[in-house]
Structure 1
C-alpha cells in the first residue's frame, strides 16, 4: 500500500493515532524522575518540616537591611558532628565537659544520661589553642528523636561522651529550631551543609548557618540583649564582647543576598561559591555562634572540607585563593532580613523557590 493511501484512509489514520497516543502515554508513565523532581526526601539528610526556618525560602516581602560585613582575614568551616545511632550500639555515659579547654575530664552528669554510640566514634579533645565548637546532633534509634551536645568530645574507645546537653529532645519531623549551638540555642543539624552538597550537581535547598566575629559585628544593649528570634540566647560574654554597631545584627539574625544582586555582579569564579550564592539568595543563613576572631565561618558536616579538597583540589578554609575571594564576596553581599519572624519566616510573601517536599521515611 502506498504511503499516501495510508494517510488518506480513515481506518489507517485512526490506527496511527491510537499507536501514537499509546506511545506518548507510555513515555509519560515511564519517564525517569530526576533529582530535581524528587517527590520525597530523606529525614536525616534533609530534616524538619517544610515550614521550618531551615527549609523556608526567602519571600517577596523580605525587608533587607545592610549588614555591613567586611572582608575577614580567614575563611572558615565550623564542623558539625552528626550521627545516626543504632539500638545495638553500646550505651555510654554522657558527662558535661571538664572545661572548655579540657573536655574529656568532666564527671558531672547531664540531662542526657547515656547514648548508644559505636566504639569508633572518637572526637579528640582540644589541642593547644584550638577549641572548636563541635556542635553535634544524634538521631536516636527510634528514627525520630534528636539529642544534641556541645562541645562534643570523646577521647577513647568505649569511653564516655562529653558535652553540654541541649535540654530538650527535638522531633526530626517538627520545626527543628532549637539545639546545641551554644551562642544562640539553635539547631546543630538544621542549616548544616551536608556531605555532597558543595560538590554535587543539585542546588542546596535549605538555609545555612554562619559565624562572625562578635567584637566586630554582634550588637548588645539592655533593650537588645544580643539575640533575636529564632535564637533564644546570646553568649554569656555578650555584655562585654559584643561590640558591633548594627542593632539588627545579633544571634538569630537571618542574612541573605538580596534579589537585585546577581552571580555575575559578584564575579564569582568557583563552582562551590556559585552554589552558596543561590542558597544564600533563596534561603539565607542564620547567625548561630561567635567566630571568636577575624574569620567568617559557615557550618558544615564533618567530612565536607575533606571531600571539597578532594574534588576541587583546594581547601575551603584559608586566607587566600579563588574560593577565599569568592567566599568573602558572598559575605560582603549579605543583608539582614529585618522582618524575619514566627509569622513571616524569610520575610513572608511569595517564596523564591518551592517548599521542600514531604519526608518519605
Structure 2
C-alpha cells in the first residue's frame, strides 16, 4: 500500500512538473507568435510599388536613373561604422533652385565680394548671365549668418544646369552673385558635380524637395549631409579629405579637418544598416521616420563642412516653412522629439565602404526600384 501511494505521489509530481514546462512552452510559442509579425512589419523595406510613379519631372527629380543621387543601396553594400556622435544642434543647409523661362531680363553673374559681404567688392565676371525676374532677392550674409546658399538654375533650353554658391542678389533688377561651378551639368546625365564646393558635389542632386517630408510617399533618392570637419572629417597625405564621387575637399582641410576615421571624408556615402528598424531605434516623429527609410534605402553623401558643432541636412529653402506649417515645430532645432530622433539617425550611420563607380551603392540587388523615366 505504501509503495503504491509513493508511486502515485511520484506520478502526480511528474505530471505537475510536465504541466508547468508545457505551460511555459506554450507561453513562449504564443509570445514568439505575437512578436514575430510586428518585427517583420517594422524591418521590411518600404513598399515602393504602392502608387509608384511611372515617370518623373526632371526639375523636381533630376538626373539619370543610374545617377548616384537615384541609385539605391545594394545587397552587397559593406558597412563600416561612421562613429558620428550626437551634436547639440540640427540645422538645414538651404538650397535654391530655379526653372528659368527665358522671357525675363538677363543679368550678369559676378563672384562674391567675400564670404561675408557677397554683394560688394570688385565685379569679377563669372562669364555668364541668367534670365531672372527683377523681384528675385536672395539676402546677403549678415553677422552670425553665412549660409552656403548652393543653387541651381535650369536654363530655358530645359537641360543645362548652372550652379552657383553662395547665391546672393541684394537689389531688385541687380546683378547676381555666386562662384560658378564649371562646367555646366546636363540634367539628363549622372549629375555628380556641382556647387557644394566643400566636395564639388551637386547643388540640386540629393536635396530634400518641397513636399517630400510632409506627404505620404517615401523619399526615393539619396540625401546629402554636412558634418563638422574639425571633429569628423579625416585628412592625411594618403587620404586627402575626400573620395569618389567628390573631387575635392575644403582648401583648409589639411589644417582644419580633425576626424579620426579614415572612411569618413567628403563624398563618403553613409547609410543606416539593414538590421535596424524604426521600432528598434524607437523613432517617434513622422518626418524622422521618412528620413530613416531614405538613409537606409538610398543613403546620404557628405557634401560640406558645417564649420561648427552641428549636424546639417541640405534641403530646398521652401521646405522650412512647409515643415513648420505641417508639424508645428521647426526643422532647425536643439531639443524635442524630432531633434532626438534625427540625432539618433546620425549616430547610427555607417559608411558604405565599397561605393565606387562600378558599384554605386555597394552593388548587388538594389533595396528599392530605380527611378522611372523622365517625362519629356
TM-score w.r.t. the length of structure 2 is: 0.86
SS at match of 2:334: coil
Cα separation, 1, equivalents of 2:317 and 2:206: 14
Matched, 1:308 2:338: no
Q: Which has the larger radius of gyration?
A: 2
Number of residue pairs aligned between Structure 1 and Structure 2: 328
Aligned residue for 1:104?
119
Q: For 1:1-361, list aligned pairs within 5 A.
A: 36-361=51-376
> Deviation of residue 113 (structure 1)?
2.1
> Deviation of residue 167 (structure 1)?
1.1
> Deviation of residue 111 (structure 1)?
3.7
Cα separation, 2, equivalents of 1:318 and 1:296: 11
- Residue by residue over 1:178-226, the C-alpha shift from the partner in whole angstroms, topping out at 9 and shown as x without a partner, is 0000100000000000000000110000000000000110000001000
Aligned residue for 1:16?
none
> Deviation of residue 335 (structure 1)?
0.2
SS at match of 1:328: helix
SS at match of 1:156: coil
Residue pair 2:87, 2:343 contacting (<8 A) in 1 also:
yes
Residue pair 2:110, 2:126 contacting (<8 A) in 1 also:
no
> Deviation of residue 35 (structure 1)?
7.4
Residue pair 1:106, 1:162 contacting (<8 A) in 2 also:
no
SS at match of 1:83: strand
Residue pair 2:111, 2:126 contacting (<8 A) in 1 also:
no
Cα separation, 2, equivalents of 1:245 and 1:207: 25
Cα separation, 2, equivalents of 1:111 and 1:36: 44
Instruction: Structure 1: state its 5+ residue gaps.
Output: 1-33
SS at match of 1:279: helix
> C-alpha root-mean-square deviation of aligned residues, in Å?
1.0
Cα separation, 2, equivalents of 1:54 and 1:164: 23
Residue pair 1:56, 1:345 contacting (<8 A) in 2 also:
yes
Cα separation, 2, equivalents of 1:184 and 1:241: 15
> Deviation of residue 86 (structure 1)?
1.4
Aligned residue for 1:23?
none
Residue pair 1:42, 1:360 contacting (<8 A) in 2 also:
yes
- Residue by residue over 1:131-187, the C-alpha shift from the partner in whole angstroms, topping out at 9 and shown as x without a partner, is 100000000001100000000000000000000000111000000000000100000
Instruction: Structure 2: state its 5+ residue gaps.
Output: 1-48
Cα separation, 2, equivalents of 1:315 and 1:35: 30
SS at match of 2:193: coil
TM-score w.r.t. the length of structure 1 is: 0.90
> Deviation of residue 339 (structure 1)?
0.5
SS at match of 2:195: coil
Cα separation, 2, equivalents of 1:205 and 1:110: 38
Query: Which deviates the most, 241-250 or 114-123?
Result: 114-123
Residue pair 2:108, 2:125 contacting (<8 A) in 1 also:
no
- Residue by residue over 1:54-80, the C-alpha shift from the partner in whole angstroms, topping out at 9 and shown as x without a partner, is 000000010000000011010010000
Cα separation, 2, equivalents of 1:214 and 1:37: 38
